[in-house]
A and B are shown apart, each in its own frame.
Chain A
Amino acid sequence: MSDFFSAFFDDLPQLRSGLWVTLQATVLGALLALLLSFVLGLMSVSRLLVLRGVSRVVVEFFRGTSLYIQLFWLHYAMPPLTGYELTPLLCGVVAFGLNYGAYGSEVVRGAVNSVPRAQYEAAVALNMTPLRRMRKVILPQAWVQMIPSFTNLLIQLLKCTPLLWLISAADLMTVIQQLRDRTGETLTAYMTLLVTYFVLAYALTLLMNLLERSAKRRLGLQTGAGSLLRGRSAAEAVASTAGGAR
């Protein structure tokens, strides 16, 4: 075990760059997914059949074909087919963004639909333009509802980042695998990796809880300090993943 940790501390620069790749993939992938969630989600509550139809097809396509296939397709199949080649990290960001964007759009759709009808009617009665109605009335309320589900999706996205190892992006998993190959400390190496992911997952959950708290405050809802430390709620974990599979 000491072998592993002495190698671990010798290789800190590589580890730091591996962690950086993993974090970049997570954050950039999540931002792309967030953007797509809103675009596809708002399209799916549109009054225009074309927009709803396009959104449905795109969402079902990216949810139905496995993330793993999408990533490999971008990495292996796209260059010969189109002549464009993405860097491994960018492949990851695009694949994570598309896949989780599709799942996220269902979250956006559900949250927008869950805002009480009367809110919508009041905004119409006040003669608000559709854009203003969405921005000032519907979305601020829907946003609070979305955050717990987005937290779950974000953790799932983080849990998919070791896939980068397979398309030879030098992510955290790659670096730790190299350490393991050199020291032969299989158990220690993988436990270290698992614990790192666990810590990352908890840090992200905490950040998202902070975000939820500030979003609730803006609506004037009560929030206790305890809400920060709680993990992802079980019921929400179930709802979002189950919803995701649908």
Chain B
Amino acid sequence: MTIALETLNLEKTFGGLRVTRDLSLKIEQGARHALIGPNGAGKTTVINQLTGVLKPNSGRILLEGQDITDLPVHKRVLRGLSRTFQINQLYPDLTPLETIGLAVSERLGHGGDWWRRMGTRNDVNDEIADLLTRFHLLDVMNEQTVTLPYGKQRLLEIAVAIAAKPRVLLLDEPAAGVPESERHDILAVVGALPRDVTVLLIEHDMDLVFSFADRISVLVSGALLTEGPPDQVARDPQVKAVYLGEEAVNV
């Protein structure tokens, strides 16, 4: 098995606080890997280091074997590492059409084109149309993002990440805050991601984690507590004690 994404002895401190402790993760090509842990375990901090928003104090990050630790955010995206945010990070004034169009244009290298109009490239248009259809956004493509219902915004958040055609996708709580009635769309979209995309899922929702992931890493206080297939993690007494409390987990 090849390794898609790997961290080697990652360390991050904020002042005196060690939020990532000697973290070494290996995520296999094509895996559905979940990173779970109680609130404050440092999950989002790990994501921020993987994507380049934060710089680790020490340790390395490898994407498909290549060291990306010192690359800026946008270069990692072009190498095939894309993410969604726990809290939507969209462009309030832009429409879904513009938002996705921009992501597609950037990936195809047309983002710096200052002469040609938006919408005049057929390859870009095809992809936009495909993504808008897949993510049920075609009917609202000309609405300002800020006016969309939360569930649609959540779909757009994921669609933007997919538009970058990632080989590794980091999903930071994709279903967070989505009303029950709109959850189904999100879960269906996440479940339908092509198998050649490696997914690292960060999630609080245990139903989603255990139905989706084939491997789970448990993070506690910034350090790796345990790692393994879902049934093994669910039975692990340490995990139960530290993270899940006394609550039983249905697998």
* Binding between chains A and B: no
Q: Which positions in A face B, CB cutoff 8 Å?
A: none
Q: Which positions in B face A, CB cutoff 8 Å?
A: none
